[in-house]
Amino acid sequence: MLEISLIEKIIDYGVSKGADFVEIFVEDRFDTRITLIDGRIDSASSERDFGLGLRLFKQDQQVYAYTNDPTEKQLFTMVDRLIEVLQIKSAEPKTVNLMNLDVKNSHVIVLNPLEVSKMEKARIMKLAYEGAKNYSNLISQVVVRYWDYDQKVFIANSEGTMASDRRIRTRLMVTAVASKDGEQESGFYGPGASMGLEFFNFRDPKDIGAEAARIADRMVRADHAPAGRMPVVIANEFGGVIFHEACGHALEATSVAKSASVFANKLGQKVAADCVTAVDDATIPNAWGSSNIDDEGTVTQRNVLIENGVLKSYLVDKFHAKMMNTKPNGCGRRESYKYIPTSRMSNTFIMPGKYLPEEIISATDYGLYAKRMGGGSVHPATGEFNFAVMEGYLIEKGRIVKPVRGATLIGKGIDVINNIDMVGNDLARGQGMCGSISGSVPADVGQPTIRVKELIVGGRKR
């Protein structure tokens, strides 16, 4: 790690040269990735990343540089180059006193992955393999991916903040392939948490494997999904990707500050159906998307985004907070020191409502039941989103009648959250990686079972 005195010197140098804000982000990280195919460990890799990112603001412009050779000489050169870009002429000597931010660790780790043998990790993977392989005789292949990491971050800035955090995460991802009559379909399940290996005391690896296999087994027997507009019931857990894509990204300051979001200038206004309350909460103990501080050194918090249909808050990072004349709310995130942080989601979910999931299905005359969702994406400026249904069923006369496959759901964000007409009581969260301009970050999505009155289902049956 770098000497604090050097960090102070660099920050002082930046502000003395006329920058409004100087930030140093240091990251030291170890990753372990292991892949098992067909019951055997196919490859294993270990990775160590280390680097420093330097960011400067001047009025409403921001510039960034990074290196993994952070010598004193290199750092001064980086500041000089960035100052030149900002075309700052005036300068006066200034000093900043760095104060350590006292952060409580809410995400206690019991079994640090770095201290657990790889043999143990391989054993867990083989259990997941067995869980999948033994699920059904249609399972033709199983790929198990194990991933853990230990990321130490240190942030110091010219506001005097000095903070550090350690994020340890563990995830097991299983892809099962089912084959039948010359056709193949796959199922995926990949839970994870801000935990060490104790995660597997809560989640049985065999069950994780079996869930991936169950999806593949159902889908290989399924017919093509119907095409066109229809009601869609979306199950809980990873189903929450609908809010994440349809709405969450458009609430990020990155889009809002430029008025390039359909939700810009709508605080306090009704933007969603009354039954929709949505939250982004990075403070949930040991959740996949949680952290004690964000990647800008701001303590994380629970942000209510939409309450009973009314827009309450955006997700705001430091740079855009200035433009929006507001305060950052702990969501400045980045994949690594190679990215400029920006406003991102952490654990985002729709709050539970009053219906039992079965009631929602019974109340639907015809439509699609999306039991397991794949990923999705969105264009925040136009609100156009899409996401894939990994496991779908056709609903007829209030009953699930048959499995259907291959459907993507598309729509526009603001229409969808206005068209949610039933919200269940079975809130659960699922884990994913969210990709955006500041890289790929771990994020939980979540919701109870919900019904959307109308969505376009991209199937092939008319």
Partner 1 sequence: MKEKQFAEMVFALAKKQGFDDCEVLVSNHREFEVVVSKGKIDNYTDASSKRATLRAIKDRRSCFATTEILDETSARFLVESAYENFMITDTLDEDDIWAERPTKGPFEYEDAFERVSVKEKIELAKRMEEKCLSYDKRIQHVIMSGYGHQRSEIWLFNTKGLELTESFGYGAAFVYLVASDGKKPKRGFRAMYGSHPNEVDVEKVALEASSEAISQLGAQPVKSGKYKVLLRRDVFAQLFFAFSSIFSAEAVQKGLSPLRGKLHQKIAAETLSLIEDPFFEKLPMKRSFDNEGVPTTRKSFIDHGTLTTFFHSIKSARKDNVKPTGNVFSQRCVPLNVILPEGSLGYEDLIESVGEGLLVIALDGLHSGVRPVSGEFSLGANGYRIADGKIVEPVEQFTVSGNFLDVLQKIELIGSDCEIVSANWFGPSVVVSELDIAGS
Site residues for partner 1, 116-145, by CB under 8 A, read 117-119, 121-122, 140-141, 143
Q: Is 260 in the site for partner 1 (CB under 8 A)?
A: yes
Smallest separation, CB 129 to partner 1 (Å)? 12
37 in contact with partner 1 (CB under 8 A)? yes
Segment 374-393, which members bind partner 1 (CB under 8 A)? Answer: 374-377, 379, 381-388
Taking CB under 8 A as the criterion, which residues in 331-360 touch partner 1? 338, 340
Q: Nearer Cβ to partner 1, position 158 or 292?
A: 158
Lay out the site mask for partner 1 across 271-310 (x = CB under 8 A, - = otherwise): ----------------------------------------
CB of 453 to partner 1, least distance (A): 15
Q: Judged by CB under 8 A, does residue 84 bind partner 1?
A: yes
Binding status of residue 235 toward partner 1 by CB under 8 A: no
Interatomic CA distance for residues 249 and 347, integer angstroms: 13
- Piece of the chain touching partner 1 by CB under 8 A; list 99-107, 112-120, 154-162, 418-426: 112-120
Instruction: Kindly tell me which of 46 and 95 has the beta carbon lying closer to partner 1.
Output: 46
Q: Is 200 in the site for partner 1 (CB under 8 A)?
A: no
Question: Is residue 259 near partner 1 by the rule CB under 8 A?
Answer: yes
- The minimum distance between CB 229 and partner 1, in angstroms, equals 6
DSSP collapsed to 3 states, the chain: CCCHHHHHHHHHHHHHCCCCEEEEEEEEEEEEEEEEECCEEEEEEEEEEEEEEEEEEECCEEEEEEECCCCHHHHHHHHHHHHHHHCCCCCCCCCCCCEECCCCCCCCCCCCHHHCCHHHHHHHHHHHHHHHHCCCCCEEEEEEEEEEEEEEEEEEECCCEEEEEEEEEEEEEEEEEEEECCEEEEEEECCEECCCCCHHHHCCHHHHHHHHHHHHHHHHCCEECEEEEEEEEECCEHHHHHHHHHHHHHHEHHHHCCCCCCCCCCCCCECCCCCCCEEEECCCCCCCCCCCECCCCCECCEEEEEECCEECCCECCHHHHHHHCCCCCCCEECCCCCCCCEECCCEEEECCCCECHHHHHHCCCEEEEEEEEEEEEEECCCCEEEEEEEEEEEEECCEEEEEEECEEEEEEHHHHHHHEEEEECCCEEEEEEEEECCEEEEEEEEECCEEEEEEEEECCEC
Q: Please select the residue that binds partner 1; options are 1, 4, 60, 80, rule is CB under 8 A.
A: 60
Stretch 405-444 residues interacting with partner 1 (CB under 8 A):
405-408, 410-412, 435, 437
Which of 97-105, 358-366, 422-430, 452-460 is the region at the interface with partner 1 (rule: CB under 8 A)? 452-460
Choices 3-11, 62-70, 166-174, 301-309; region in contact with partner 1 by CB under 8 A = 62-70
Restricting to residues 165-194, name those near partner 1 by CB under 8 A. 177, 179, 183-186
Q: How many residues bind partner 1 (CB under 8 A)?
A: 85
| 42 contacts partner 1 (rule: CB under 8 A) | yes
Is 258 a binding residue for partner 1 by CB under 8 A? The answer is yes
* Smallest separation, CB 225 to partner 1 (Å): 8
Among 13-21, 81-89, 193-201, 268-276, which window interacts with partner 1 (CB under 8 A)? Answer: 81-89
